[in-house]
Amino acid sequence: MGKKKRLQNILIVDDEETILWSLNEYLVNDQLSAKVITASSGEDALATLARLRIDLVITDIKMPGISGIELLMEIKNRFPQIPVIVMTAFPSSEFKREVTLKGGLSFVEKPFDINDLRHTVINALREENQFRGTLTGISLGDVIQIKCMSGVTAALRVSEGDRQGIIFFQKGEIIHALCDQLDGEEAFYEIMSFSHGILDTVQLTEMPEQTISMPCTALLMEGSRRQDEKQHREQNDDNPEQTKAPEETEKSAGIEKNDQTDGSLLGTALERFKTIKGYQASVIMESTGTIITRDDPAAGYDLDLVGTTINDFFRSAHSRLEKTPMGGCREIVLQLTKETILLRCQSPEKETSYLVIALFSTLANLAMAKISIKKVVEDLAK
Residues 255-272 have a mean pLDDT of 55
pLDDT (0 to 100) of residue 307: 81
**Spatial CA neighbour of 332 closest among 274, 374, 285, 272:** 374
Residue 334 buriedness (CB in 10 A; 0-12 / 13-18 / 19+): middle
pLDDT confidence tier of residue 355, bands split at 50, 70 and 90: confident
pLDDT of 341 over the 90 cut:
no
Residues 59-69 have a mean pLDDT of 86
Q: Average pLDDT, whole number, for the chain?
A: 78
pLDDT (0 to 100) of residue 135: 55
Residue 125 buriedness (CB in 10 A; 0-12 / 13-18 / 19+): middle
pTM for the predicted model, two decimal places: 0.49
Distance CA 286, CA 284 (A): 7
pLDDT (0 to 100) of residue 54: 92
- DSSP letters, 367-379, are HHHHHHHHHHHHH
Q: Tell me how far CA of residue 159 lies from CA of 51, 65, 165, 175, in angstroms.
A: 27, 27, 7, 19
pLDDT confidence tier of residue 244, bands split at 50, 70 and 90: very low
pLDDT tens figures, 204-236:
667 788 999 888 877 887 887 787 777 767 766
pLDDT (0 to 100) of residue 98: 66
Please report the domains of the chain, with CATH numbers, ordered by start residue. Answer: 8-125 (3.40.50.2300), 140-213 (no CATH), 245-381 (3.30.450.30)
pLDDT tens figures, 274-293:
777 778 888 888 877 788 88
- DSSP letters, 147-207, are HHHHT--EEEEEEETTEEEEEEEETTEEEEEEETTEEHHHHHHHHHT--S-EEEEE--SSP
pLDDT (0 to 100) of residue 255: 42
The rounded percent of the chain whose pLDDT value lies above 70 is: 77
pLDDT (0 to 100) of residue 338: 77
Q: Tell me how far CA of residue 117 lies from CA of 19, 26, 28, 267, 330, in angstroms.
A: 13, 11, 11, 59, 52
Distance CA 351, CA 370 (A): 24
pLDDT (0 to 100) of residue 155: 85
